[in-house]
Each structure stands twice: as C-alpha cells, then as structure tokens.
C-alpha cells in the first residue's frame, strides 16, 4: 500500500508541476504583451527595467539554502 501511495503522490506532483510551469509561461507572455502595448517593444531594454532585473538578481544571491541544497 505504501508504494502505491508513493506513486500516486509522484503522479500528482508531476501534474501539478506541469500546470505551474504552463501558468508561469502564460503569465510571462501576458506581461510581455501588456508591456509591449504600454511601453513599446523595447520595454525590457529601458534603464528602469534593467535596474529591476539587476535588483532581482541581487535578491536571489541573498537566499540562504539549507546545507542539503547548498550545491544549487
């Protein structure tokens, strides 16, 4: 019974992960579409956008991973 439950959970996480990835892609595409309409097709190259991207990169480097995941 335990092995059956394990495989059911694996299948559930596989399906959920796939749906989350689809939603992320959809949201990124919608954001890009809206910003293209509002700011123009080169919105990502503006100094403001580049500054936001740089700040986001800095915040990711501050994340402390537990020792088990420190290789990531």
pLDDT recorded at residue 1: 64
Return the structure tokens found at 26: 């959809």
What CA–CA distance (Å, rounded) separates 59 from 12? 31
Tell me the domain boundaries of the chain.
Answer: 2-64
pLDDT recorded at residue 72: 46
pLDDT recorded at residue 47: 86
**pLDDT lower than 70: segments of the chain:** 1, 56-57, 59-72
pLDDT, tens digit, 9 for 90 and up, residues 31-49:
999 989 988 888 888 888 8
pLDDT recorded at residue 19: 93
């Amino acid at each position: 019974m335990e092995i059956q439950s394990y495989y059911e959970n694996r299948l559930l996480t596989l399906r959920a992960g796939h749906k989350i990835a689809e939603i992320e892609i959809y949201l990124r595409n919608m954001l890009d579409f809206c910003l293209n309409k509002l700011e123009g097709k080169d919105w990502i190259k503006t100094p403001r956008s580049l500054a936001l991207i740089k700040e986001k990169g800095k915040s990711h480097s501050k994340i402390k991973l537990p020792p088990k995941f420190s290789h990531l």
